[in-house]
């Protein structure tokens, strides 16, 4: 057992002990105040960190709300753009439907134009067929006119031949009459025959020369007629080798040739009439001379008269033969002309029939082509109408789908905008709650700081106040 020695302390030691105890208390209080201050600092740091975190969260919420707002605006703009695109698609679909309607109308108008053109072509073909028929009738009419002209020319030639034969007979009768008169007068002019003999010989020579001249002229005329006939035959052969389209021209040329031959025949007949007239004039002159010389050459008169009669008879026979040959040549030429005209008329008729058949075939082909064109135009119009209807239906479906998609996008954009607005409101509410909590924490921190400051002041006050020692004093 430890015994406590009681020592009486001095006042100075008691004060020192009291001061030490008070210092220890003050130290304890200071330590407590320091701990409280450290705790307040830690709490302030935590409060500051929480404030910074809340500010960061608030800033992040604001940024998120801003991003959501911007996203909502972008989605709104996209929705508006899609709505405009849907409207444009609808307008485009309506424009395409109108274009399809225009195409349909154009196809109908084109089909009508094709139908009208086919009708015009059929009308033109009918007009061409009518013109071909009219041309065939004109060709037949011309051939008939040519045949009539040839017949008339042949009749004129026969008439001219009859007239020439009558003139020859008349000339022969005149010659016989003159010979009879000369025989009667021969008895009266027997004394003048000697003188007339020389004159008669000269007249005979002159008559012989005239006869030779007439024979040469007739031979030249016959040669010319033969040349004309040969020329006509050559023309006929050339015309047969040519195309049947020149039938009218050949017929006209042949008619002109026949007319020319008739003119030549008439010229020959005129020349023969002139020669006969000249011969009669020469005979009259010689008769006058013979009458003047009949008194001297009565014995020679009968002989001369017989010779003249024989010469006249021979000349008449030659002229009759030449006329018969000319008549035969003219008849043959007329027959050839009629044959050529008949052949040309048959060729023209055949050509007209071929042309009519060809025109009928062309008209049938044109009608068939027009029917095919109308059928194809109708099929094209129906196909165009069907295609326009399908395109219009597709455009309507596309427009409806685009409108529905635009409506869906607008709905989604509206929903996203509403969600963004709700998120922004929630963020604002959260920010307000966080700001309130921060304000409360700040108020609590200020209160804690005031308490710490008060504790520090109290600690300082306690530390500056001396502590009275408490009995019993602790042992050293």
Q: How far is CA 469 from the centre of its chain?
A: 135
- Range with the lowest mean pLDDT among 55-64, 187-196, 307-316? 187-196
Q: Give the Cα separation of 466 and 291 in Å (integer).
A: 227
Cα gap 394→323, rounded to integer Å: 101
Tens of pLDDT, residue by residue over 306-357, are 787 787 788 878 878 887 887 787 788 778 878 887 887 787 788 878 888 8
Q: For residue 298, how many other CB atoms are within 10 A of its CB?
A: 20
Q: What is the pLDDT of residue 381?
A: 78
- Per domain, the residue ranges of the chain are 11-123+397-464, 147-366
Distance between CA atoms of 167 and 325, rounded to whole angstroms?
17
108-124 b/e (C-beta count within 10 Å ≥ 16 → b): eeebeebeeebeebeee
R_g of the chain, CA atoms, integer Å: 78
Mean pLDDT across 180-184: 74
Q: Quick one: average pLDDT of 350-367?
A: 83
Residue 152: how many other CB atoms lie within 10 Å: 12
Whole-angstrom CA distances from 352 to 134, 298, 338, 421 are: 10, 78, 20, 97
User: Would the pLDDT of 475 be above 60?
Assistant: no
Q: Is the pLDDT of residue 373 over 60?
A: yes
> How does pLDDT run across 253-310, given as a tens digit for each residue?
766 776 776 677 678 777 877 877 887 788 778 777 776 776 776 677 678 777 877 8
Question: 11-123+397-464: which CATH architecture?
Answer: Orthogonal Bundle (1.10)
- Output the six-digit token pair for 61: 């919420």
Question: Please, what sign has the CA dihedral across residues 369, 371, 373, 375?
Answer: negative
pLDDT of residue 190: 67
How confident is the model at residue 468, as a pLDDT? 52
pLDDT in tens, 12-41: 877 887 888 887 887 888 788 778 777 877
pLDDT in tens, 127-162: 877 877 787 787 778 767 767 776 777 787 778 778
| CA proximity to 149, closest of 141, 65, 470 | 141
**To the nearest whole percent, how much of the chain has pLDDT over 90?**
0
Taking the C-alpha atoms of residue 257 and residue 261, their distance in angstroms, rounded to an integer, is: 6
> Rounded CA gap, 405 and 399, in Å?
10
Q: What is the pLDDT of residue 463?
A: 65
The two three-digit tokens of residue 117, written as one number: 């053109």
What residues contact 114, with CB distance under 8 A and at least 6 apart? 373, 374, 377
Interstrand relation of 295-297 and 191-192 (parallel, antiparallel or unpaired):
antiparallel
Looking at the predicted structure, is the pLDDT value of residue 472 above 60? no
Average pLDDT over residues 112-125: 80
Helix, strand or coil, per DSSP, at residue 474: coil
pLDDT of amino acid 222: 67
Quick one: pLDDT band at residue 195, thresholds 50, 70, 90?
confident
Look at the block and give the residue holding tokens 């075939």: 361
- Bigger pLDDT: 203 vs 473: 203
Nearest to 113 by CA among 389, 380, 360: 380
Decide if 440 contacts 71 (C-beta within 8 A).
no
pLDDT digit string, tens, across residues 384-423: 788 878 878 888 888 788 788 778 877 887 887 787 778 7
Distance (Å, rounded) from C-alpha 52 to C-alpha 58? 9
């Amino acid at each position: 057992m430890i015994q406590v020695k009681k020592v009486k302390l001095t006042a100075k030691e008691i004060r020192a002990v009291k001061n030490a105890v008070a210092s220890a208390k003050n130290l304890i209080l200071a330590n407590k105040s320091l701990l409280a201050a450290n705790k307040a600092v830690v709490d302030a740091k935590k409060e500051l960190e929480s404030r910074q975190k809340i500010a960061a969260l608030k800033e992040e919420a604001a940024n998120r709300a801003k991003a959501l707002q911007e996203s909502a605006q972008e989605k709104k703009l996209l929705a508006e753009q899609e709505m405009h695109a849907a409207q444009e698609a609808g307008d485009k679909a309506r424009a395409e439907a109108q274009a399809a309607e225009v195409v349909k109308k154009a196809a109908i108008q084109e089909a009508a134009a094709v139908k009208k053109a086919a009708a015009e072509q059929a009308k033109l073909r009918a007009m061409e067929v009518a013109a071909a028929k009219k041309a065939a009738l004109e060709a037949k009419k011309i051939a008939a006119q040519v045949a009539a002209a040839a017949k008339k020319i042949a009749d004129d030639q026969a008439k001219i031949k009859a007239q020439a034969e009558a003139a020859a007979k008349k000339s022969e009768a005149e010659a016989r009459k003159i010979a009879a008169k000369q025989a009667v007068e021969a008895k009266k002019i027997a004394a003048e025959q000697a003188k007339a003999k020389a004159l008669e010989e000269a007249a005979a020579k002159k008559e012989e020369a005239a006869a030779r001249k007439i024979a040469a002229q007739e031979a030249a005329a016959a040669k010319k007629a033969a040349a004309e006939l040969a020329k006509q035959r050559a023309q006929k052969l050339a015309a047969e080798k040519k195309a049947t389209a020149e039938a009218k021209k050949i017929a006209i040329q042949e008619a002109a040739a026949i007319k020319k031959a008739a003119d030549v025949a008439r010229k020959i007949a005129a020349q023969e009439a002139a020669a006969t007239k000249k011969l009669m004039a020469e005979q009259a002159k010689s008769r006058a001379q013979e009458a003047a010389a009949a008194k001297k050459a009565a014995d020679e008169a009968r002989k001369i008269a017989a010779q003249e009669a024989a010469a006249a008879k021979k000349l008449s026979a030659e002229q009759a033969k030449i006329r018969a040959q000319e008549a035969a040549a003219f008849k043959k030429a007329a027959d050839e002309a009629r044959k050529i005209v008949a052949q040309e008329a048959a060729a023209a008729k055949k050509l007209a029939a071929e042309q009519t058949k060809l025109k009928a075939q062309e008209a049938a082909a044109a009608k068939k082509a027009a029917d095919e064109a109308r059928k194809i135009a109708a099929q094209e119009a129906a196909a165009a109408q069907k295609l326009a209807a399908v395109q219009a239906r597709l455009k309507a479906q596309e427009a409806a789908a685009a409108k529905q998609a635009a409506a869906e996008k607008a709905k989604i954009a509206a929903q996203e905008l509403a969600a963004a607005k709700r998120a922004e409101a929630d963020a604002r509410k959260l920010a307000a709650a966080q700001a309130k909590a921060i304000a409360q924490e700040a108020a609590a921190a200020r209160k804690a700081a005031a308490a710490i400051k008060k504790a520090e002041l109290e600690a300082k006050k306690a530390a500056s106040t001396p502590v009275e020692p408490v009995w019993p004093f602790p042992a050293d």
